[in-house]
Amino acid sequence: MSYIQDLKWNKGMKVKDMVSSFSNLGYQSVELKKASDVIVKMKKDNAKIFLTFTSNMVTSGLRGFFAQLIQLGMADVIVTTVGGIEEDIMKASGARFKIGNFSSDDVELHEKGVNRIGNILVNNESYMHFEDRIMPMLDKLYAKQKRWDVSSLLREIGLMLDDKDSILFQAASCGVPIFCPAITDGAFGFHLYLFQQKHTDFIVDVVKDFGNILFVTSYDEKKGVIALGGSISKHHAILSTLLNGGANYAVYMTTAHKTSGSMSGATTEEAKSWGKVKDESDVATVIGDVTITFTLAMINALEQLSEEGLLKPREKVKVEGRSLEDIKKYVRG
């Protein structure tokens, strides 16, 4: 049995040193340290890592961190919601979101054309710029072929962005699939609908992509899940692991509580009752704001893996026999 130990600050303390002390601090600090350890274990065990997150995390400054993790080989499959796709494209197009506060006058914000997400402010102009960017992309995709599954569509869009801090770009150039099951649940869906009114033979095949995510892994492959928040993104990842024998490692981070009966609040232990996580798997559930908990846990893991020489950036891949430069010429042409 471990005992509580007092946390002490030391000059020059690293994130790794601080998080290491969490195992004896108590409360959610213990779970955060455990979560970081599980992340290290899934990487060392060469597990296929599913990273899932909801759109509000891309609204925040985590976007570039997610892109970096893809490039560093810490995520092999991405599952997210459509707002994250939209805002990744917005930010790749130069949009900047402002810090506000949680007690703003929302009626006044609405009159000014400002949308509030917690304490982050997004101007309506960002959505207008999104429309200006996405419609020419859809024209190019339509010229290439008329029917797309969602992950292939997002891969091609990612290669058009050419932004190292873009989740879509890094995933596409590193060969990491991005799944967005509810692609119509936002502004992107509205523009897909408008585009289809002009081109009735343009099809985005969500059902085919459901099959793609189910078979993105196999029964024999080791699997790890890092689920940030809940929603459809979390569920599609763990459904894939369920149908392939269950995850060997799982880290859930959320602000929801297990008593809600929701997907967001469902713990890693609850997942064992469904077979989504193996009975003997290494798991951790951390309750708290992901901008705090995930950054601490993951940076601790990155520092440890880097010190052990286990953090190796991905090489750029060829897509359908084409190099990244070939595709850039295609999308520019």
For the stretch 208-253, pLDDT in tens is 999 999 999 999 999 999 999 988 999 999 999 999 999 999 999 9
* 83-87, 250-254, 327-331: least confident range: 327-331
329 is catalytic: no
Look up the CATH superfamily of 39-96+136-182+198-332: Deoxyhypusine synthase (3.40.910.10)
Kindly list the distances between the CA atom of residue 21 and the CA atoms of 42, 298, 316, in Å, as whole numbers in the listed order: 21, 15, 37
Kindly list the distances between the CA atom of residue 65 and the CA atoms of 23, 71, 201, 247, in Å, as whole numbers in the listed order: 25, 10, 38, 24
Q: Give the closest residue to 285 by CA, choosing from 222, 242, 226, 238.
A: 226
* Token pair listed for 333: 């042409």
* 33-42, 234-243, 311-320: least confident range: 311-320
Residue 280: pLDDT band with limits 50, 70, 90: confident
The residue type at 87: E
Q: Can you tell me the distance from the alpha carbon of 277 to that of 216, in angstroms, rounded to the nearest whole number?
A: 17
Q: How many residues does the chain have?
A: 333
Chain-centre distance of CA 300, in angstroms? Answer: 19
- The three-point CA angle 41-168-181 to 5° equals 80
- Of residues 320 and 151, more confidence is placed in 151
* Token pair listed for 201: 């033979």
* Token pair listed for 13: 């303390």
Q: Can you tell me the distance from the alpha carbon of 76 to that of 17, in angstroms, rounded to the nearest whole number?
A: 28
Structure letter (DSSP) for residue 199: -
pLDDT higher than 80, residue 326: no
Residue 178: φ, ψ to 5°: -115, 125
Residue extents of the structural domains in the chain: 39-96+136-182+198-332
- The three-point CA angle 124-128-134 to 5° equals 140
Q: Which residue among 91, 276, 278, 316 is the active-site one? A: 276
Give the pLDDT score at 320. 52
Mean pLDDT for all residues in the chain: 92
Q: Enumerate the β-bridge partners of residue 115.
A: 122
* Token pair listed for 180: 């967005």
* Token pair listed for 106: 């929302």
